[in-house]
Structure 1
Amino acid sequence: MPLRRLVACLSACLLCAHAATDEVPLVRLDHVPVAVRHLEQASQDYRALGFTLKPGRAHGDGLRNAHVKFTNGAGLELITVDKPQGELARHYAGWLRAGEGPAYLTLHAADEPRAAAALRAAGIAHRLGPEGLTLDDPQLAWLFFAADNRSPSDRPAHFAHINGAVATREVWVALDDGAALARLLTALGARSHDEARTAPFAARARVYELAAGGRVVVVPARHQVVPGHPVIGVVMAAPSAPARVWPPSQTHGLWLTLQPGP
């Protein structure tokens, strides 16, 4: 093969490899904080659904929590507030006056500087500081980035859920104007498509594919469990269990689905 042609072929291969790397989403699903009025009762109810809970702790601002954990760092955080002492605790107290349920969608970026660069290139307002990556768009106030949710105190028993759940696969969001979310996730490498979904309920959805097999599923705002609260559901992988759907009345405010398969 002539040298010029060989160089051209190698250059093309390098460009293709670079493009493939760039297509890998920069974020994955992390935990979903679920605001509950009575942590002890909610914990008991989740154990009755077959989840193992890792006890949390009392925070200085009045928040208390317990965790449904998976090995990849995703899961649920049941969280309540007794006597709110700080801005975040007061936010949860206000949230609970409207009703129980998911307060946020949490994402994790393994490489926050690279994610910040992607947001900057897309013109999305954000800050990257000692506390991590923060979004400045008020339309996305229900979404935040977190450090890895895995902890040195996690034990194998914390991941052993008798209902068979092993991972969070999807977080469902109900919005009529999803432009800000679409812009964010697309900038971070997510690919999307439209899909007809049947569980936890029938809906036409926009599905965003994230890293590690996670998805954000966007449906119309009429499906909000509590008006004004966008995050409405979580789908969990349960390879060895039958399909199961629990309505918000059983889960303290969210659609919760067990889905067979990896």
Structure 2
Amino acid sequence: MTTQNLRIDHAVIVTDDLDKAITAWRERGFTVEPGGRHPRGSVNALISFADGAYIEIIAFPMPQEDFFWWHTLQKDGPGPIDLALLPEDLDALLVQAAEAGLGYAQPQDGGRKRPDGETLVWRTARPAETDLPFFCFDITPRTLRVPAAPRHANGATGFGAISLAVADLAASTRRWEALTGRTATAIGALPGLDAVAATLDLGTTRLVLLAPERQGVGTIARHLERRGQGLFGLSFAGTDPAVSYSQTAERPASA
């Protein structure tokens, strides 16, 4: 569908205690920096990487009844929630997405005030189905939104792989192929997750689509029931041994 150079912008983790989450990520060897406050009242912290992508850790001091991130947090607790891609031309990409039947809404204005008082402005566009990412497009310079990458004690330089839980692997694979213009590779069953998978690469990051091998059975099926389609797990390039994070990182081992 697209000839744009789509790239990973950021992965989103929701939490009910931002200070606690910052401490936990620092204990994993990451440098975490304050992000600021959004007009809607949410607050965040950021983990920036040398490859230009970052993690947003976001908390909601006040209810956000119109926002599915908040509802998922209330229903199922902290964990991975969403993925954003960075387009070169948002309006052109949305035209192409509409022609491909991908179901993106019209863009919305967004922003954040940093702790130093700098005001950031961007536009986002979200899909009707969360097996696809949302888009984040800067109005103010992206260098204001994304801090320069610090050194991480664990050696992380970016996302090695990003996994997403999807309900229908074949359908989501087609949608990702249409969005990115890349061909996915089916990799079959993953017995440990009771899942089937397909992969495609965006830059140096491997995207892994995971669907239940059998309806209602296994880790991915439970994730879909609890949190719906979308971001499931992250692994990080540059770490030895490999550092990873998933939905299960926010749960007791018996959950």
User: Into which bin does the TM-score normalised by the smaller protein fall?
Assistant: 0.7 to 0.9
The one-letter amino acid of 2:207's match is V
Q: Kindly tell me: are residues 93 and 111 of structure 1, through their superposed partners in 2, closer, same or farther at Cα, counting changes over 3 Å?
A: closer
Give the match for residue 120 of structure 2: none
* TM-score for the superposition, normalised by structure 1: 0.71
Alignment partner of 1:140 is 2:136: no
Q: Kindly tell me: are residues 172 and 25 of structure 1, through their superposed partners in 2, closer, same or farther at Cα, counting changes over 3 Å?
A: farther
* TM-score for the superposition, normalised by structure 2: 0.73
Asked which structure has the greater CA Rg, the reply is 1
Contact 1:26–1:111, Cα closer than 8 Å, also in 2: no
In structure 2, C-alpha distance between the alignment counterparts of 1:247 and 1:128, rounded to whole Å: 30
Alignment partner of 1:108 is 2:99: no
State the aligned residue count. Answer: 225
Alignment partner of 1:94 is 2:71: yes
* Greater CA drift, 45-54 or 25-34: 25-34
Give the match for residue 176 of structure 1: 167
Shift of 1:235: 1.8
The one-letter amino acid of 2:15's match is V
String of CA shifts for 1:46-90, please: whole Å, max 9, x gaps.
Answer: 0011000111223342311101111343121111111125633xx
Give the match for residue 19 of structure 1: none
Give the match for residue 233 of structure 2: 233
Shift of 1:207: 0.5
Q: How does 1:59-208 map to 2 (within 5 A)?
A: 59-84=38-63, 87-88=66-67, 91-97=68-74, 98-129=76-107, 131=109, 132=123, 134-137=125-128, 139-140=129-130, 143-147=133-137, 150-152=142-144, 156=148, 158-188=149-179, 189-195=181-187, 204-208=196-200
The one-letter amino acid of 1:84's match is P
In structure 2, C-alpha distance between the alignment counterparts of 1:164 and 1:79, rounded to whole Å: 23
For residue 104 of structure 1, give the secondary structure of its aligned residue in structure 2. strand
User: Structure 1 or 2: larger strand share?
Assistant: 2
CA RMSD of aligned residues (A): 3.3
Which segments of 5 or more consecutive residues in structure 1 lack a partner in the other structure?
A: 1-21, 254-262
String of CA shifts for 1:65-120, please: whole Å, max 9, x gaps.
Answer: 101111343121111111125633xx333211212111212112123244234323
Which segments of 5 or more consecutive residues in structure 2 lack a partner in the other structure?
A: 110-122, 213-217
Contact 1:119–1:184, Cα closer than 8 Å, also in 2: no
String of CA shifts for 1:115-170, please: whole Å, max 9, x gaps.
Answer: 23432332333345474463453x237731112594337554x4211101001132
Contact 2:41–2:60, Cα closer than 8 Å, also in 1: yes
Q: Kindly tell me: are residues 112 and 44 of structure 1, through their superposed partners in 2, closer, same or farther at Cα, counting changes over 3 Å?
A: same
Contact 1:104–1:142, Cα closer than 8 Å, also in 2: no
In structure 2, C-alpha distance between the alignment counterparts of 1:179 and 1:31, rounded to whole Å: 25
